């Protein structure tokens, strides 16, 4: 018994020792690897230092590449340092969060830049001027800071309706008084001649749509724009009329309640073709125009907002005619991966979306 026990203990002991030894070995291997990596990084750093002298800690290096919501990098942190220096209450987290989007939007509105909440070259130039005190910005003058707000019926009211990645759906609504300040009529074909508000889009989307139409024309296609911007008041009237005919539940499957329509963003438009008699019908997806649109929309920053098979996420039927501007970067990822705006936003800023 005693001998057996001793043998047992010895065996267990040696197993433990060998396990520990293995672990130690692995740990030290890792450590060695880490040190090597660090050394390598240092060498690279040193090499870089030789060619370009390292800036002093207080100097802000404004990023040269485009940055947007959800991006995480040292460049984002540099942008946040600049915004903080101007007086914006942003965290220096290196994560392009909603507050960073707001600060960028606020400056874009005040300086009459393209308003998207996306940081680009034009923003870099303006920030340089602000930091050099050549121009002055008043924090919140373009867009006072407002966090997204949960309303009584669990709908989230958007604090920043201007950003290109604004999520508008049955849980996320635009403020009743939101009217985009940069609406224009895109120079594209409509199947009617009247100058009506629904011809309008926000400037950034209108310019992208013009390029899309020009390229579709060059391919011999026959795209027509049908319906762009729609005000809260107009959506209110429209939805009420659908409800009176179809009942609220059915009406909400193909039409949005006021505040929940993407058309109020000015970033969406319905397009069609003579092959479906200029109607907004699922068959449009099978026309040459519809197929081309699905394949190429992302190149111009647009997505098919309500794709086939994603009805449970978007909570709308398949609408091959409804396109939404989100910017080229997001559109390319969304269309290439066959996902929705909802899924994309949940991935890039999971915490914020779950808070919503």
Q: Which residues bind Zn ion (CB under 5 A)?
A: 270, 322
Q: Least separation, in Å, of the C-beta of 306 and Zn ion? A: 8
Nearer to Zn ion, 88 or 325 (CB): 325
Nearer to Zn ion, 105 or 235 (CB): 235
Neighbours of 77 (CB within 10 A): 18
Q: Least separation, in Å, of the C-beta of 263 and Zn ion? A: 6
Q: Least separation, in Å, of the C-beta of 241 and Zn ion? A: 16
Q: Least separation, in Å, of the C-beta of 322 and Zn ion? A: 4
Q: Least separation, in Å, of the C-beta of 205 and Zn ion? A: 13
Nearer to Zn ion, 172 or 322 (CB): 322
How far is 75 from 53, CA to CA, in rounded Å? 18
Neighbours of 19 (CB within 10 A): 10
Active site annotation includes 112: no
Nearer to Zn ion, 243 or 280 (CB): 280
The residue with its CB nearest to Zn ion is 322
Nearer to Zn ion, 85 or 253 (CB): 253
Q: Least separation, in Å, of the C-beta of 185 and Zn ion? A: 17
**Helix/strand/coil (H/E/C) assignment for every residue in the chain:** CHHHHHHHHHHHHHHHHHHHHHHHHHHHHHHHHHHHHHHHHHHHHHHHHHHCCCCCCCCCCCCCCCECCCCECHHHHHHHHHHHHHCCCCCCCCECCHHHHHHHHHHHHHCCCCCCCCECHHHHHHHHHHHCCCCCCCCCCCCCCCCCEECCCCCEECCCCCCCCCCCCCCEECCCCCCCCCEECCCCCCCCCCCCHHHCEEHHHHHHHHHHHHHHHHCCCCCEEEECCCCHHHHHHHHHHHHHHHCHHHHHHHCCCCCCCHHHHCCEEEEECHHHCCCCCHHHHHCHHHHHHHHHHHHHCEEEEECCCCHHHHCCCCEEEEEEECCHHHHHHHHHHCCCHHHHHHHHCHHHHHHC
58 burial level (CB within 10 Å; 0-12, 13-18, 19+): exposed
Of 78, 111, 289, 319, the active-site residue reads 319
Q: Least separation, in Å, of the C-beta of 262 and Zn ion? A: 7
Cross-sheet strand order for the sheet of 149-150: 149-150, 156-157, 172-173
How far is 13 from 205, CA to CA, in rounded Å? 71
Residues forming the active site: 319
């Amino acid at each position: 018994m005693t001998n057996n026990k001793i043998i047992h203990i010895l065996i267990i002991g040696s197993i433990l020792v060998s396990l520990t030894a293995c672990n130690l070995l692995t740990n030290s291997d890792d450590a060695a690897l880490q040190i090597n990596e660090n050394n390598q990084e240092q060498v690279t750093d040193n090499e870089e230092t030789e060619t370009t002298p390292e800036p002093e800690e207080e100097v802000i290096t404004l990023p040269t590449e485009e940055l947007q919501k959800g991006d995480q990098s040292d460049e984002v942190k540099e942008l946040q340092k600049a915004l903080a220096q101007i007086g914006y209450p942003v965290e220096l987290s290196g994560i392009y969060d909603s507050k960073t989007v707001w600060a960028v939007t606020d400056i874009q509105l005040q300086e009459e830049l393209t308003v998207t909440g996306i940081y680009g070259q034009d923003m870099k130039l303006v920030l340089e001027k602000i930091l050099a005190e050549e121009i002055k910005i008043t924090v919140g003058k373009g867009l006072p800071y407002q966090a997204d707000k949960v309303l009584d019926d669990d709908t989230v009211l958007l604090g920043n309706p201007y950003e290109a990645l604004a999520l508008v759906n049955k849980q996320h609504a635009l403020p009743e008084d939101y009217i985009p300040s940069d609406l224009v009529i895109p120079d594209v074909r409509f199947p009617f001649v009247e100058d009506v508000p629904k011809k309008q889009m926000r400037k950034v989307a209108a310019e992208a749509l013009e390029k899309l139409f020009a390229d579709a024309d060059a391919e011999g296609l026959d795209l027509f724009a049908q319906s762009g911007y729609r005000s809260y008041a107009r959506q209110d009237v429209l939805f009420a009329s659908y409800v009176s005919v179809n009942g609220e539940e059915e009406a909400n499957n193909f039409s949005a309640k006021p505040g929940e329509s993407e058309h109020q963003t000015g970033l969406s438009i319905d397009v069609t073709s003579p092959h479906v008699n200029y109607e907004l019908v699922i068959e449009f997806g099978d026309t040459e125009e519809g197929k081309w649109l699905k394949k190429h929309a992302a190149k111009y920053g647009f997505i098919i907002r309500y794709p086939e098979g994603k009805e449970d996420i978007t909570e709308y039927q398949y609408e091959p005619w409804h396109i939404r501007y989100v910017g080229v970067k997001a559109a390319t990822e969304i269309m290439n991966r066959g996902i929705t705006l909802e899924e994309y936003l949940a991935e890039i800023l999971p915490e914020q979306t779950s808070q919503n």
